[in-house]
Amino acid sequence: MLAIELDTTVEDIKRRIEYLERMNIIRRVSLGVPGCGTCSGCEGSRCEGCMPQGGFRNMGEMWEIV
Amino acid sequence: MSTTIALLGQPNSGKSTLFNALTGLRQHVGNWPGKTVEKKEGTFTLGGVTYKVADLPGSYSMSANSDEEVVTRDFIASGQADVVCILADSSQLERSLFMLADYAGISAPCFLVLNMEDVAKEQGKKIDPDAIEKKLGIPVMMFSATDTKAYEKFYAVLERALKNKSQLNVSALENEYEKVEGYSKIKSQLDDGVISGYTPMWLTVKFMENDKVVSAKLKNALPDEKLKKIEETAGGQNGAIAMGECKFKWIDGILSGAVSSSSPGVQLGKLDRIFTHRIWGKPAVVLTVILGLIASFIPALPFMGIGSAIPMLKGPVTASLSGAGCPEIVISVLCDVVIQSLGYIVQMLGFVFGVTFVFGLLEEAGVMARISYVFDNTMGKLGLQGKSVMPFLVSFGCTMGGAGGARVIDNWGQKVLTIALAWAVPCGAAWSIVPMLAATFFGAWSVAVIVAILLTMLLHMWLTAKIFGRRLVKEEERCGMIMELPPYHKPKWGALLRYVLGRTKDTFFRVTKVVMLVCAIFWLLSYAPEGSNSILYNIGIAIEPVTKVFGLPWQLFLAFVASMVGKEGSVGVISALYTGGSYGAAFNAAMSGAGAAPDLTEILLANVARPEALAFIFAITFNLPCVVALAATYQEIHSAKWTAKIALYYTAVSLVLAFIAYRVGMLIW
């Protein structure tokens, strides 16, 4: 999508994101959600009552400006 | 006398494979002095000459972002290496040549190895190393470190680089740098050899990139006057971005005409063309969610059937227990509290199962990521972060989990705002009660009620963000995210079913405890001997003139109050107040025209008007989620003032929404 808008390649977008991340200009967003602490089997980032096993894995990657 | 070769490359560029192939068992592993970074050295002999090989730590660039990068560049600048072998991954040259671009300006002789030739060929890439060599001025070769037959070629290129002391041609790159404001001014202040091993060009670039180690070295090496001049010119974060752009342009210039690929250009799939469309994207996403909610009714149907059949047990149970001489109060508790609540709980579980299944499926398939993407810009404008997506998503299950999920948001204001908005997302308990009540009162129109709730949720979140956002998040902190969408997946049915069943089971135990407890308390409060009124009835009648303003009879208002403890609790209250066996006289007085009905659904339909039901549904859906979510909110934001503010706001808004829903209902029915 971004590659189409900027008339470039996916590889170009990926290397630019990597550069900005390495230079601490943007950072990868952690999508880990701690469990609610009340469900059965709720420990750390594993919470059967709130999310699938291993968390929400198919939400893609996100970066935010530092 | 030996010759030292330094192997330089990004992680996974094949450096270790090359190192192992060259040195075999003649390796030594230790640590770099004063660092915890692994130091690998080895030797090999070729034509009577011993070559010492230093496998430098894998690092992205020559910046000082990690110990590995500092060790790498210090070793090269120290002049210990006679030649530097720079490795790049042929399958992704646009990215992996960044190391070469960052190396440019270091005076040590070097040559370039385009490794993983086989992978590039598989991708249909054709690379012309001679064309690249012409532009760079150093030996360049295609290579596959795993191919033992390719090493003769490697040795030949190595000898050529050593013989010619080949230096990288950086003029094209420097031309790019010179276009950046401030570059020439800073460079003019730096003399050759100001820091040994680095050229003024390289030092200028690093200084503009805010490289702390280089800045500190320059501080020691330069007189105050010169230092002041370069510090005035430094471009901060923009300098780093500009330098990066120059390097990428230089790489593109090198690859232009030297690399061709048979891979097709960027194309979006049909679904993504719709979801990411500027105009149709949002409607498509909203429609997807609505269809998902409608679909969630299908798996709920069997549960509803079983749940509505459970109260039929009341007759046989009453008969058999009466026959056994059991006291009336025990029979009443068993039938009006236990059996009645159980029927409701099973019906509720159907919707928990359905909603979890459908939303889990959307997440598994990668659709949920598209939903986040479509609303990311809006979220940024409201002062939220992309991280807020997860708390919202989790809040569909449990608001407490959503509040906990906001822990990953560093900015306090954004965290408070995220939690405040997560409260507007109907939790699992709401999704279990609301569709059931909607189906009871509105039949096929219950879908319209659910859609109205969803739209109200979005409006509520927008309004809440507007009200609280101004105080919590400054304008300059508001920005969108960069997102990489996952490809669409075939759902893993086993994992999905385990999640859905796990959540349904968990909800069953949690809901049962709350519903039974609240139902029992309210049943006791509503219990009164024949001919007298219960405590609850007296309170209810007293407050009803006020509660009626919001379209809520006193029984439903008490259920609304109970929903603050836990939304499931409201079902317990309804169950106790509308079906309490010994409550009959007071109940009938309160509800003129109430008939003796065999189950709660019929009693509700006989005694609660549709506008009142609609008001109640909106009131409990948008009421504060539960006391535990309230505690979790306080725990996360550490502000009693803001926790109270949010709680009062939600209570007020839920009553206003009930008032509006009641009036709208009066117009319709």
Same domain, B41 and B81: yes
- Give a yes or no: residue B609 inside a domain: no
Same domain, B112 and B238: no
Tell me which of B48-57, B82-91, B589-598 is least confident: B589-598
- Amino acid B593 reads G
Structural domain ending residue among the three candidates B155, B170, B185: B170
Q: Closest Cα of chain A to B324: distance in Å?
A: 39
For residue A17, which residues of chain B lie inside 8 Å, CB to CB? Answer: 482, 484
Q: By the CB < 8 Å criterion, does B412 face chain A?
A: no
For residue A61, which residues of chain B lie inside 8 Å, CB to CB? Answer: 483-484
For range B26-38, the mean pLDDT = 72
- Name the burial class of residue B652, with classes exposed (0-12), middle (13-18) and buried (19+) by CB atoms within 10 angstroms of its CB: exposed
- Give a yes or no: residue B196 inside a domain: yes
How many other CB atoms sit within 10 Å of the CB of residue B616? 29
Structural domain ending residue among the three candidates B125, B141, B170: B170
The pLDDT of residue B456 is 94
Q: Which candidate from A22, A38, A51 shows the least CB-CB separation from B400? A: A38
For range B81-99, the mean pLDDT = 91
pLDDT higher than 60, residue B411: yes
Same domain, B193 and B248: yes
Q: Which candidate from B364, B385, B484 shows the least CB-CB separation from A60? A: B484
- Give a yes or no: residue B499 inside a domain: no
- Give a yes or no: residue B244 inside a domain: yes
- Give a yes or no: residue B665 inside a domain: no
pLDDT band at A48 (very low <50, low <70, confident <90, very high): low
Beta-carbon contacts of B313 under 8 Å, excluding residues fewer than 6 positions away, are B339
Which residues 185-244 of B have a C-beta within 8 angstroms of A? 209, 237, 240-241, 244
In terms of residue numbers, what domain contains A52?
Answer: 2-65
Q: How many angstroms separate the CA atoms of B638 and B632, rounded? A: 10
The pLDDT of residue A27 is 81
Fill in the DSSP letter of residue B333: I
CATH number reported for the structural domain that contains residue B245 in this entry: 1.10.287
Count of domains forming chain B: 2
pLDDT of B527-559, one tens digit each? 766 667 777 778 888 998 999 999 999 889 988
With beta carbons less than 8 A apart as the criterion, state whether B384 and B421 touch.
Answer: yes
pLDDT of B449-477, one tens digit each? 988 998 999 899 999 998 998 888 877 66
Same domain, B160 and B12: yes
Q: Which candidate from B94, B241, B483 shows the least CB-CB separation from A25? A: B241
Count of domains forming chain A: 1
pLDDT band at B236 (very low <50, low <70, confident <90, very high): low
Q: By the CB < 8 Å criterion, does B628 face chain A?
A: yes
pLDDT band at B48 (very low <50, low <70, confident <90, very high): confident
The pLDDT of residue B331 is 85
Same domain, B145 and B77: yes
Sign of CA dihedral B638, B642, B644, B648: negative
Q: Closest Cα of chain B to A66: distance in Å?
A: 10
pLDDT band at B84 (very low <50, low <70, confident <90, very high): very high
Q: Do B61 and A50 touch (CB under 8 A)?
A: no
pLDDT higher than 70, residue B264: no
pLDDT of B566-613, one tens digit each? 787 787 677 767 765 444 443 333 333 333 344 667 777 877 899 999
Nearest CA in chain A to B272: A1
Q: Closest Cα of chain B to A30: distance in Å?
A: 7
Q: Do A33 and B368 touch (CB under 8 A)?
A: no
Cα–Cα nearest to B421, from B459, B371, B471, B370? B459
The pLDDT of residue B83 is 92
Same domain, B32 and B154: yes
pLDDT of A1-37, one tens digit each? 777 777 788 888 889 988 988 888 888 876 655 555 5
Q: Closest Cα of chain B to A4: distance in Å?
A: 7
Q: Are strands B482-484 and A61-65 parallel, antiparallel or unpaired?
A: antiparallel
The pLDDT of residue B588 is 38
pLDDT higher than 60, residue B248: yes
Residue B234: HSE in the Cβ half-sphere, 13 Å Cα cutoff: 21
Q: Percent of chain B beyond pLDDT 90? A: 24
Same domain, B82 and B134: yes
Q: Do B368 and A59 touch (CB under 8 A)?
A: yes
Q: Do A48 and B499 touch (CB under 8 A)?
A: yes
| Alpha-carbon torsion angle B625, B626, B629, B633, nearest 10 | 80
Q: How many angstroms separate the CA atoms of B36 and A51, rounded? A: 38
- What's the whole-number average pLDDT of chain B? 83
Q: Which candidate from A16, A29, A50 shows the least CB-CB separation from B394? A: A50
Q: Do A40 and B505 touch (CB under 8 A)?
A: yes
The pLDDT of residue A43 is 60
Beta-carbon contacts of B409 under 8 Å, excluding residues fewer than 6 positions away, are B385, B387, B388, B415, B418
- Give a yes or no: residue B28 inside a domain: yes
Same domain, B241 and B107: no
Tell me which of B144-148, B479-483, B492-496, B601-605 is least confident: B479-483
Q: Do B498 and A53 touch (CB under 8 A)?
A: yes
Q: Percent of chain B beyond pLDDT 70? A: 90
- Per-residue exposure over B273-282, b if at least 16 CB sit within 10 Å of its own CB, e if not: ebbbeeeebb
- Give a yes or no: residue B307 inside a domain: no
Same domain, B8 and B141: yes
Q: How many angstroms separate the CA atoms of A39 and B619, rounded? A: 26
Structural domain ending residue among the three candidates B145, B170, B195: B170
Beta partners for residue B53, in sequence order: B5, B42
Tell me which of B364-378, B386-400, B443-457 is least confident: B386-400
The pLDDT of residue B368 is 79
Same domain, B143 and B199: no
Tell me which of B64-73, B357-366, B384-393 is least confident: B384-393
Q: How many angstroms separate the CA atoms of B447 and B384, rounded? A: 30
Q: Closest Cα of chain B to A49: distance in Å?
A: 4
Same domain, B215 and B111: no
Q: Do B499 and A34 touch (CB under 8 A)?
A: no
Beta-carbon contacts of B482 under 8 Å, excluding residues fewer than 6 positions away, are A2, A17, A26, A62, A63, A64
Q: Outline where B104-182 has alpha helix (H).
A: 117-122, 129-136, 151-164, 171-178
pLDDT band at B1 (very low <50, low <70, confident <90, very high): low
For range B617-641, the mean pLDDT = 86
Same domain, B20 and B92: yes
Q: Are strands A26-28 and B27-31 parallel, antiparallel or unpaired?
A: unpaired
- Give a yes or no: residue B599 inside a domain: no
In terms of residue numbers, what domain contains B94?
Answer: 2-170
